[in-house]
Every structure is written in structure tokens, then in C-alpha cells.
Homo-oligomer: A and B are copies of this chain.
Amino acid sequence: MPPQPRSDTVAERLRLKSGELTAAERKLMAALFDNYPMAGLVSITEFARVADVSTPSVLRLAKKIGFAGFPSFQEQLRAELSAQLQNPIAKHDRWSADAPDTHILNRFASAAMENLSGSLKLVDHRDFDATVALLADRKRKLHIGGGRITHPLAAYLSTHLQMARPGVSLIPAVHSHWPLYLLDIGKQDVLIFFDIRRYDARMLDFAASARERGAKVVLITDQWISPVARLAVHTLPLRIEAPSSWDSNIVPLFVAESLVAATVNASWRDTEARIQELEALSDTGRRGR
């Protein structure tokens, strides 16, 4: 390997060494990237304070990535910033550093952002709020399920809701077990289904049976809307296109996380105690091992 090219940016040097950084050094790296490169253009004392480490740690990091001291480290940051300011195309720095626009990461990121803003226009926030009210109602049991592709989303939602409240059950991926789970669905229960194309006929059957048993169905689907919507009290249609052979489930995950956050907010009094209890039990479990 040739000797380290001295023209490398601070960001590149940090990434190069990121594997061998200590805890304090990682804090500094995080602080710097949090506002790059401005965060590094203050005094060493101030930079250390912002990252919540000592000044020697800043110095050690600067030396580890090949600078003589803090001033030369800072000089490099200034040089990068100057170069960037003179180059008007630099607005792309918010994407992957120096990767071309056509890089899959950047194309996927654009698609994700468009899906997200498109979905927010598509979704009726009253449906969202009404769904949250259902999820926050502890008198109702929750049943969460998804198709072959979306099942991990259902699992994710179920794990988080379980931390927030009791009475959450995940319907397994394997169809043959479904009748058993249908048995446990009762009046006033809520069935949350992820169903995106291609829609699974068996999910429609399941949702129909659940509804007959008195459950309320909430559907998270794509913009072409699964047939389950006819049975659902609330439908959240999302955009899921991606530059890929398969659809993107980023926005469905976004909705799942938002539902969790909103549900926790809506019933904070009950939830707070439960989370603290969970923490305590986890700690005990860890120590007991």
C-alpha cells in the first residue's frame, strides 16, 4: 500500500480508523459528524466539552488519524470547508460522501424520501389517530400479522407494543397455525394486518373470519390497497416503490414505529410503569446469569 495520501479528508481518515477507536474517540467522531465540519472548528476545549470527553482525548484522536496536533487537524477541516464552499455542487454532500449520484445508496435514499413524503399525503391522519386509540386501549387484545415478506414488520411491531402494553400476540408466519390463532380472537379485539402486493388470499380469509368474530381490523397496505380494506375499520395506504426487484418496506416500518410512539404517548401513565418494570426484570435476568 502506498503511504497514506495526505489529501484524505478528516471524514475519510476517521472512517478508515473507525474500527480501532476507543469509546471516547467514538464519542468525538459522533460529535464531529453530528455537525461536520463546523463542530471541529472551535477550540479544543470547546470541542471536548461538546463531545463530553477530556481535551487529551481530542488530541489523541487527532494524532491517531495522522495529524501532528489539534491545530493541523483543524486546518485540514478549514481547507475542506473552503473547497466545499467554492464548489456549488457540494450540496450533494448530504448524500453519501463522494459516491456518485447514481450509486444505489443515493438512488434508494431518494426513493425512500419520496415514498415517505408521498405516504404522508396519502394517509388520513384521522385514521392514524383512531388506530392509536385502539392500540392504547388496554381492554382490547391485539393480534398482529403479516404476509411472507411483511411478517418481520409484524414481529417488529408486536415486540415493541408488547413492551408498551399487555395482551399483544403475533400471528406466526406459517399458515397452518392460523386457525389456532383465530380461535383466540374475540369481540373488541384488534387485528393489525400488513398486506402489501402481492396480496395473499389467505390473509383475506383470515381477516374475514376475524371480523365475523367481532374483531376490528386495521390494515397497513400499499397505494394499490389490499382487498382486506373492505373489511377494515381503518386503512393506512403507503407508497412502497423502490429501485429494486422488490418493494420497499421502509415506510411500513415508519408507520409501525410511529404507531408505537403514539401509543406510548397516549397511555404514558400505564406504560411508564410497565417499561420500568421491564427494565428491572431485564437487569435481574442479566445479573442472574
Given the complex, which residues of B lie within 8 Å of A36, measured CB to CB?
A: 121
A82-B35, A82-B38, A149-B159 as given contacts; A96 in contact with B109, CB under 8 Å? no
How long is the Cα–Cα vector from A244 to B259 in the complex, in angstroms? 10
> Is B113 in contact with A125, judged by CB distance below 8 angstroms?
no
Q: Is A188 an interface residue (CB 8 A)?
A: no
Within 8 A of B (CB), among A136-186: 148-149, 151-153, 155-156, 159-160, 163-164
Q: Is A208 an interface residue (CB 8 A)?
A: no
Q: Is A87 an interface residue (CB 8 A)?
A: yes
- Which of A82, A116, A257 has most B Cβ within 10 Å? A257
Chain multiplicity (copies): 2
Within 8 A of B (CB), among A89-141: 89, 91-99, 103-106, 108-109, 112-113, 116-118, 120-125, 127-128
Find the B residue at minimum CB distance from A116: B109
Given the complex, which residues of B lie within 8 Å of A209, measured CB to CB?
A: none
> Is B82 in contact with A105, judged by CB distance below 8 angstroms?
no
Majority-rule SS of A interface residues: helix
A108-B261, A152-B159, A244-B257 as given contacts; A224 in contact with B94, CB under 8 Å? no
A125-B105, A249-B156, A258-B104 as given contacts; A120 in contact with B148, CB under 8 Å? no
> Which of A47-55, A58-66, A227-235 lies at the binding interface?
A227-235
How long is the Cα–Cα vector from A41 to B99 in the complex, in angstroms? 29
> Is B82 in contact with A30, judged by CB distance below 8 angstroms?
no
Q: Shortest CB–CB separation between residue A197 and chain B, in angstroms? A: 12
> Is A257 in contact with B261, judged by CB distance below 8 angstroms?
no
Out of B20, B35, B105, B260, name the residue touching A246 (CB < 8 Å).
B260
Within 8 A of B (CB), among A41-93: 41-42, 78, 81-82, 85, 87-89, 91-93
9 examples of A-B residue contacts, CB within 8 angstroms:
A30-B224, A42-B78, A96-B125, A105-B123, A105-B258, A149-B156, A152-B159, A163-B246, A243-B261
Q: Which residues of A contact B (CB under 8 A)?
A: 11-12, 15, 18-21, 26-27, 30, 33-36, 38, 41-42, 78, 81-82, 85, 87-89, 91-99, 103-106, 108-109, 112-113, 116-118, 120-125, 127-128, 148-149, 151-153, 155-156, 159-160, 163-164, 223-225, 229-230, 232, 235, 237, 242-246, 248-250, 253-254, 257-258, 260-262, 264-265, 271, 275
